[in-house]
Structure 1
Amino acid sequence: MIAEREYRLIEHQGEPHYGKHLIATALGCNDSLLSIERLYEFLVQMADDIDMVRFGPPIVARFGTGIGVGVSGVQLIETSAIMFHTNDAHRDMYLDVFSCKDYEEETVRSVLESYFSPQSVTCEVLYRK
């Protein structure tokens, strides 16, 4: 059996955790949010900037109907995934970054802001045991 400290590599409040899950809501983004190419680049840049090893290329697709049309994207990383869904009509993005390797929350926010200039960004971080 693998020792807990070998399996749970992220330290938070003095305790080992398996993963870090950042949930970001970015409202009122710029028109880059409508570009499949820009969203693809965003996933690649996010993985690289938070020092993750990408596993294959991102998958990015627009779908839905009416007010629900948006883009979903995922970049698999060796330690889990970076994924999002957007809403075209309101220019909103809902982003999740989950990894069993630690990363800087501020870097996630910085990449998000540099690509989409949202009017507001809120982030929550969960530490998964």
Structure 2
Amino acid sequence: MLTEAPPEYRRIVHNGEKHYGQHMMVTALGCNEALLSIEKLYDFLQNCADEIDMVRYGPPIVARFGKGHETGCSGVQLIETSQISFHTNDNHRDIYLDVFSCKPYEEATVYRVIETFFSPSSITSEMVYRK
């Protein structure tokens, strides 16, 4: 039997409606050489969590794998309110980032952290609000 969710369960308000979480999906193309460094990617995950005011849960996990044009890194930083994850492509120096949290955060801050670490030639994103 489902019980009614307490008011704080959905604490993100978007367009006058309460939502459980916000999920930002980012594509950053043409990044600098930092994208090829596991250490820099590790630092990026920690810094991104800190800058959007999230509580990190344990250390990030970052690994490189794949073959040929699919070689890249995947990484995840668990946060108390969900996760920050990415996949990269070494050959094209692209990063595909997801930031999901039931605690609100600013899109502009995520952009700033990406630009600081990777200086991409372009960044696009989409925000989904989950009910």
Q: Which amino acid aligns with 1:113?
A: E
Aligned length: 129
TM-score, structure 1 as length reference: 0.98
Question: How far did 1:6 drift?
Answer: 1.9
In structure 2, what is the Cα distance between the partners aligned to 1:118 and 1:42? 14
Q: Are 2:58 and 1:61 aligned? A: no
**Cα deviation code 1:31-76 (max 9, x no counterpart):** 0000000000000000000000000000000000111000000000
Q: Do the aligned partners of 1:5 and 1:16 also contact (CA within 8 Å) in 2?
A: no
In structure 2, what is the Cα distance between the partners aligned to 1:91 and 1:100? 30
In structure 1, what is the Cα distance between the partners aligned to 2:60 and 2:90? 19
Residue in 2 aligned with 1:7? 9
| Paired residue secondary structure (2:41) | helix
Question: How far did 1:93 drift?
Answer: 0.2
Q: Are 2:119 and 1:117 aligned? A: yes
| Paired residue secondary structure (1:21) | strand
**Cα deviation code 1:98-125 (max 9, x no counterpart):** 0000000000000000000000000110
Q: Which aligned runs of 4 or more in structure 1 are off by greater than 3 angstroms?
A: 1-4
Q: Are 2:113 and 1:99 aligned? A: no
- Provide structure 2 residue ranges, at least 5 long, that are not aligned to the other structure: none
Q: Which amino acid aligns with 2:65?
A: F
Q: Are 2:33 and 1:16 aligned? A: no
In structure 2, what is the Cα distance between the partners aligned to 1:128 and 1:108? 19
Residue in 2 aligned with 1:85? 87
